[in-house]
Structure 1
Amino acid sequence: MRFMPTISRLALLLPVLSGSACAIEREVASYNIDTEISLKTDQRTRGISDSLLHPALQLHTEIAHESGIIALAEIVSVSKKQFVGGSGTGVTLGLGYRWGDPEAWHFGVGVATELFPGAKFQAPHSFDLNTFTPGDFKSTDFNSNFLLFEANYGAIEGRMLYVVSDTYRGADTGGVCGQMLQLATDPTDALACYGRGDHNSRGSMLFDLNYSVDLLPATTLTLHVGQQKVENFKEADFSDYQIGISRAQWGFDWSLDWYSTDSNARELYQVQDGNRLRATDNDAFVFSVTRSF
């Protein structure tokens, strides 16, 4: 698969920072380090499976300083069939700053990078309609860099990510047009995609809106809607939706989430798995268990 979308897990600015008068008086400011290990039946990013519908393991560490500075590091297992030639891991690193009243308006800004070590693909970046042959083969990786802005009010969280890397998860002419030409039944849209010339996806924008509410003690309902607008490739635009329930019990967090997507070109989210194609954008329930340290 050439192009696969992203990244709700770039929510590096969500944890609420708190300080105390005692901490302020110290010569060295206080900070918190939180680490989580999660086992999931599927690794979903913006509603799309990154683990080819297989279980995944995720390690997430976050450092929050009382000044408002937050840093995170995350490692998760992903499919080598999707992220071709890679190590089977995705790495997210982020640094941000947030301020405001956690019970009212609060804001955040940050930078983040998403890496898939070793993963890359070769694809044609042009197509000759006279000879009906592809050309100009180039190599593209799946790595992405982002700027992030948040504007939140109470339990409502709004987030925007702006892509500053050359591509967003491999979305360029080879990744998008090439994937469509390879898998689409009708090549018309793929040829029209090539006809626009050779482009990358720098300037893509990702939007998220989340709402969380406590239903019962230790039980939380989360609602999410997201949209991605991929620069130069309207075919890769799509929306995603999520409804989740989580409960803290016996020292673990237990979660059940339902994911759904609305994509323009479904062939962008199909992966060759042996002798069959598997769709990674299907509606699905995902169960996960998390241990915090």
Structure 2
Amino acid sequence: MQHHRLLALALGAALTGNVAAEGTSTLAKPDEVQTATFAVDTEVKLVTDQRNRGISDSLNGPGAQLSVQMAHESGIIGLVQLSTVSKKSYTNADGYNLLLGTGYRFGDPDGWHFGVGLATEFFPGAKFSAPHGLDLEAGVPTDFKTTRYDTSYAVLEIGWGALEGRILNVLSRTYRGADTGGVCGQILAVSVDPTKAIECYARGDRNSRGSWLFDLGYKIPLGAATTLNLHAGAQKIRHFKEADFSDYAIGITHTRWGFQWSAEWLTTRTKARELFLVLDGDRLRAQDNNRLVLSVARKF
């Protein structure tokens, strides 16, 4: 979708049991000096397609990601992440997304564990102007406004062993540009039949604050160095049922030579495909198509 891209929040990775375990060390003995343990984990990742919640952020092309995760033995965690994005998908963007997150995690990584957090993602330079109204008598769009893609979230995680559940709520005015201009305007721009756009505009000028995103993941060890990854996700965009969709993924991760090699099959179930079309030159390209994504990552 040119004005509205729908995602998996990277802060969730920082709230998983693996990160908490890496950032927690055994407490010092009573006769030793009590020193707070703090760990920093840096990862560089290359992918054949930069996808969030099954939707391509890179116009179906390759991408790169740099993540720095910080964990304190008290359970406090932080995340700074840079990801490449398409300038065509995110209008006027500088070509990258910056995610800043912090949270607190507690519990038993092998049993019940929980996490809470806050995160904000920025799309430097990215913004678009779109109509927030429609004059039915004249048949022309009206009330043009500028919208940015920057989004803030509250995150809740509940896990049991390798099973991870995650709930996100949108705190900012819009979820990645999802407002009347970003949703109704996009449908109007790419549809031959304006009926859906008229129905969308009839609800008035709305934003998407309060939207909900849900994720469920499960990891199955297939050996000392190989893991099977299963994922299911759904999102409910407030005021815009057209933007609701679900995504599913199954993949394999294998560690070899100090690198993590992954292959993942992703599929989505969208309601209004018009929201996931991006103009590339003289043709529209879908970003919600099924896709096999390969990646390689290295931690430092």
* TM-score, length of structure 2 as denominator length: 0.96
1:81-120 to structure 2, matched below 5 A, reads 81-120=88-127
Partner of 1:22, secondary structure, is coil
d(CA) in 2 for partners of 1:219 and 1:27? 37
Contact 1:38/1:289, CA 8 A, preserved across alignment: yes
Shift of 1:23: 7.8
Note the C-alpha offset of 1:245: 0.3
Partner of 1:2: 3
Summarize the alignment of residues 45-194 of structure 1 with structure 2, pairs less than 5 Å apart. Answer: 45-194=52-201
| Aligned with residue 267 of structure 2, among 255, 260, 276 | 260
Distance 1:26 1:83, change over 3 A: farther
* Runs (5+) with no aligned partner, structure 1: none
Query: Does structure 1 conserve the Cα–Cα contact (< 8 Å) formed by 2:28 and 2:35?
Result: no
Give the direction of change, closer, same or farther, for the CA distance of 1:272–1:26 in structure 2 (3 Å limit). Answer: farther
Choose the corresponding residue for 1:241, options 241, 244, 248.
248
Any idea what SS the aligned residue of 2:274 has? helix
2:15 pairs, out of 13, 16, 25, with 13
Q: How does 1:25-44 map to 2 (within 5 A)?
A: 25-44=32-51
**Shift, 1:235, TM fit:** 0.3
Secondary structure of 1:174's counterpart equals helix
Cα deviation, residue 177, structure 1: 0.1
In 1, Cα distance between equivalents of 2:116 and 2:79: 14
Question: Counterparts of 2:99 and 2:83 in 1: how far apart (Å)?
Answer: 9
Give the conservation status (yes or no) of the 8 Å contact 1:126–1:197: yes
Alpha-carbon shift at residue 31 of structure 1 (Å):
1.1
In structure 2, the partner of 1:282 is 289
For 1:267 and 1:193, the matched residues in 2 are separated by: 13
Give 1:8 shift: 3.8
Q: Quick check: 2:28–2:34 contact (8 Å CA) kept in 1? A: no
Query: Distance between the aligned counterparts of 1:101 and 1:165, measured in 2?
Result: 32
CA distance, structure 2, for counterparts of residue 23 and residue 92 of structure 1? 37
Tell me which of 211, 219, 223 is aligned to 1:212: 219
- Aligned 8 A contact 2:20 2:75 in 1: no
Q: Aligned residues, how many?
A: 293
Query: Which moves more between the two structures, 9-18 or 232-241?
Result: 9-18
Distance in 2 of aligned mates of 1:26 and 1:102: 26
Q: Deviations over 1:205-245 (max 9, x none)?
A: 00000000101220000000000000000000000001110
- Whether contact under 8 Å (2:102, 2:118) holds in the other structure is yes
The structure-2 alpha-carbon separation of the partners of 1:26 and 1:232, relative to structure 1 and needing over 3 Å to count, comes to farther
Q: Structure 1 pair 264/22, CA: closer, same or farther in 2 (3 Å)?
A: same
Contact 2:5-2:55 at 8 Å conserved across structures? yes
Deviation at 1:251, TM superposition (A): 1.0
Q: 2:280 aligns with which of 270, 273, 287?
A: 273
Specify the SS of the correspondent of 2:20: coil
Residue identity (%): 54
User: Given residue 5 of structure 1, which amino acid in structure 2 is its aligned partner?
Assistant: L
1:251 partnered with 2:258: yes
* Secondary structure of the structure 2 residue equivalent to 1:268: helix
Q: Which amino acid aligns with 2:268?
A: T
Q: CA deviation at 1:7?
A: 1.9
Kept after mapping to 2: 8 A contact 1:23/1:29: no
**Distance change in 2, residues 1:44/1:248 (3 Å):** same
Aligned partners of 1:23 and 1:30 also within 8 Å: no
Aligned-pair Cα RMSD in Å: 1.1
